Amino acid sequence: MTHELYLTGGMPGPYDNAFRGRAVAAYEAGEGGYHELASLFRVGYRTLQRWVAQYRATESVVPRPRGGGWRSPIDPIVLHALIRECPDATSDELSRAYNRRVGRDGRTSARSVRRALRREGYVVKKNGAVQVSATDPTFSAAANGFGTRSRRSIRAAGSPSTRRG
């Protein structure tokens, strides 16, 4: 037996309608109580109770639609406008600018802005410090003198968007 069943990463789907119908029909026919039939069908007794209650209210065992989940309060139109105005701004600067534009109820954190930026397809830097990139073929740390400078001086050489304000 493999463990793929347990590594799906999300909530399981609803039980099959025919299976739900058989369980509810067995209860309605008086073949047993909730606990007994739930163990027979290998479901929780509260699950069977909900199915029976739904059947009695709607005469259907079709599962209800899933909930809508949480919706981000960040308006993507405002976020795009901010990025057009200051494309080199950090997420902290963007969140402050966003909070100045929206009302008190729409305020948000820098972390929420980073999530919204990723959702909208923007690349977010992990930190503001200048980092030597070994994958950039046009950059040579030794040729530019970065091999002899301290890490502190490398950070001080950052662009205005990476400096603390």
At 122-164, the pLDDT tens digits run 887 665 544 444 444 454 555 555 555 445 544 444 444 544 4
Which residues have CB under 8 Å from 17's CB, separation 6+?
61, 62, 63
The stretch 73-83 carries a mean pLDDT of 90
Residue among 79, 18, 11, 94 at smallest CA distance from 51: 18
Residue intervals of the chain classified under CATH 1.10.10 are 13-58
- Yes or no: say if 37 and 26 are a contact pair by the CB < 8 Å rule: yes
At 29-70, the pLDDT tens digits run 999 999 999 999 999 999 999 999 999 999 999 998 877 777
Tokens representing 35 are 């606990």
- Yes or no: say if 130 and 157 are a contact pair by the CB < 8 Å rule: yes
Distance CA 99, CA 82 (A): 11
Question: Residue 14 gets which letter from DSSP?
Answer: P
The pLDDT of residue 36: 96
**pTM to 2 decimal places:** 0.42
Question: Residue 34 gets which letter from DSSP?
Answer: H
* 9 confidence band (pLDDT: 50, 70, 90): low
Which residues have CB under 8 Å from 7's CB, separation 6+?
none
Q: What is the domain class of 13-58 according to CATH?
A: mainly alpha
- Yes or no: say if 54 and 73 are a contact pair by the CB < 8 Å rule: no
